[in-house]
Amino acid sequence: MTPTPGQTVGPFFGYALPYDGDSELVPPGSARAIRLSGRVLDGAGAPVPDALIELWQADADGVVPRAEGSLHRDGFTFTGWGRASTDNTGRYSFTTLAPGATGPGAAPFFALTVFARGLLDRLQTRAYLPGPATADDRLLASLPTGRRDTLVARPDEHGFVFDIRLQGEGETVFLSHGRD
C-alpha cells in the first residue's frame, strides 16, 4: 500500500502536542539523570524557535522500553520516549538516562524525530554517544568523514549536546529507512 504523505506540523502545535513532563523521561536530579540538549538551526544559522524534537531510546541497560505512561509519567517507570519544544533561542532539552547498547558491540544512540514550521515532513536522525563503539558502527562508517561528526553528541557537564542543522554548513545527516 502507498503511504499517506506527511505535511508540516505548522505553527500552532504548541497548544496541542507538548504536555507537562514531556521532556523529563526521568525526574531531574534523580540518580543517573543526564541532560541531552542542543539547538535547532536553519540554513542561515538562525535558531528555529518553533521546532519539536521527539526522543526514543533504550534504557541504561540497552533494553527497549515496552511500558506505557509517557503522557502521564509516574516518576518511576522509564518509558524511553519524550518530546521537547525549542525555545526562543532554538534550544531543546531532555532529562533522561544515557542509553545502553542494544546488542554486543553496538554503539548506543538516541533516535530523534524533528518537526518544525516550514519543515514539510518530519526528519529522523541518530545522536550517538561519543565513545570507542562509534568506530565500528555501520551507519557512521557509511558516511564521509566530514558528515559523520554531525551524528555524534559531544559531552558537557550535564550530559550531552547535540545540535541539529537543517541546512547548510554542517548539515545534520537525516535518515531514510525504506525497505527497497
Partner 1 sequence: MSTASSDAAASSQAEVSDEIATIAEKYAAEGRTEDRVRLDYPPYRSSILRHPTKDLHHADPEGIELWSPAFGHSDVDPLEADLTIQHSGEPVGERMVVTGRVLDGDGRPVRHQLVEVWQANAGGRYIHKRDQHPAAIDPNFTGVGRCLTDGDGNYRFTTIKPGPYPWKNHRNAWRPAHIHFSVFGSEFTQRLVTQMYFPGDPLFALDPIYQAIVDPAARARLVASYDHDVTQPEWCTGYRWDIVLTGSHRTPMEEE
| Interface with partner 1 in residues 11-50 (CB under 8 A) | 11-17, 42-44, 46, 48
* CB 111, min distance to partner 1, A: 5
Maximum alpha-carbon separation in the chain: 47
Contact residues for 136 (Cβ-Cβ < 8 A; gap 6+): 105, 107
Compute the distance between CA of residue 40 and CA of residue 92 in angstroms, rounded to an integer.
Answer: 8
Asked if 105 is part of the footprint of partner 1 (rule: CB under 8 A), the reply reads no
Q: Which of these ranges, 8-16, 28-36, 127-135, 152-160, lies near partner 1 under the rule CB under 8 A?
A: 8-16
* CB 109, min distance to partner 1, A: 8
- Cβ nearer to partner 1, comparing 32 with 72: 72
Cβ pair 95, 23 in contact under 8 A: yes
Task: Give the x/- contact pattern for partner 1 in 54-93, rule: CB under 8 A.
Answer: x-xxx---x-xxxxxxxxx------xxx------------
Compute the distance between CA of residue 55 and CA of residue 126 in angstroms, rounded to an integer.
Answer: 10
Compute the distance between CA of residue 9 and CA of residue 2 in angstroms, rounded to an integer.
Answer: 21
Asked if 175 is part of the footprint of partner 1 (rule: CB under 8 A), the reply reads yes
